Structure 1
Amino acid sequence: MKTYLQKGTSVSIPAPKAISSGDLVVAGVLAGVAGHDATVGAPVEVHLEGVYRLGKVSAQAWTVGQAIYVTPVSGLCTNAPAAGAVFLGAAIEAAANPSGTGVVRLNGAAPAAVFA
């Protein structure tokens, strides 16, 4: 197919801020995990699929299969969608309240719209 470019499990985009490998990267409705460090504006490979242990809002308990969002300002995952939050994927392990991390299967695609 002449228009096909790549599978899309990861994409290279300009880093919206200074990024460390493993950080959540949010650019508009695109959200994923950085594959390497990058300075602002430098290309960063963002992984859009896979299962990752990510930082979460500590004061939340998660259940398996629960929808997980990322808040661009804090960079933390949350099960409570709020204005500006971007759908990220689903929890694949229960997470206690309190706990600093949770396990998320990334959605692999940009959502239809940002939760408002």
Structure 2
Amino acid sequence: MKSFVQTGDYLEVTAPYDVTSGSGVLVGKLFGIAATTVASGGKVNILRRGVFDHAKTSAQAWTQGADLYWDDTAKVFTTVSTSNTLVAKAAEIAANPSGTGRVVLNG
């Protein structure tokens, strides 16, 4: 197909802040997990699909399949929608308290 560019699983974006490999990156409404570590303004490949273990709001219990939002201030996944961006689902149950949850990106 003449118009095909790439699968979109990885996408190069400009880091809106200092990014560490494995951390979440939000550019507008575009979200992914950083493949490398870069300073703010650098180019970084983000993975837009897949399942990841990532930091979450500790004082939340997650049910499998729950909507998850990216808190771009705290740089964690949360079930709180207010002022956050819907980017994933809970891949597994996560306890309260726990600092990490398993997420599947909406990609």
TM class, shorter-length: over 0.9
Q: How many residues align?
A: 107
Q: How many Å separate the matches in 2 of 1:89 and 1:14?
A: 21
Q: How many Å separate the matches in 2 of 1:62 and 1:79?
A: 8
The residue type equivalent to 2:81 in the other structure is: P
Aligned counterpart, 2:73:
73
**1:79, CA displacement in angstroms?**
1.0
Aligned residues with identical type, % of pairs:
38
Q: What secondary structure does 2:45 align onto?
A: strand
Q: Which has more strand, going by share of residues?
A: 2
Aligned counterpart, 2:98:
99
**What are the superposed Cα offsets for residues 3-57 of structure 1, whole Å, 9 maximum, x if unpaired?**
2210001100111111110010011101110001011111100110000001000
**Structure-2-length-normalised TM-score:** 0.96
Q: How many Å separate the matches in 2 of 1:7 and 1:45?
A: 13
- Give the 5 Å matches for 1:54-93: 54-83=54-83, 85-93=84-92
Q: What secondary structure does 1:102 align onto?
A: strand
Unaligned runs of 5+ in 1: 109-116
Which aligned segments of 4 or more residues in structure 1 are displaced greater than 2 angstroms? none
**Structure-1-length-normalised TM-score:** 0.89
Q: CA RMSD of the aligned region, Å? A: 0.8
Q: What secondary structure does 2:2 align onto?
A: coil
Aligned counterpart, 1:29:
29
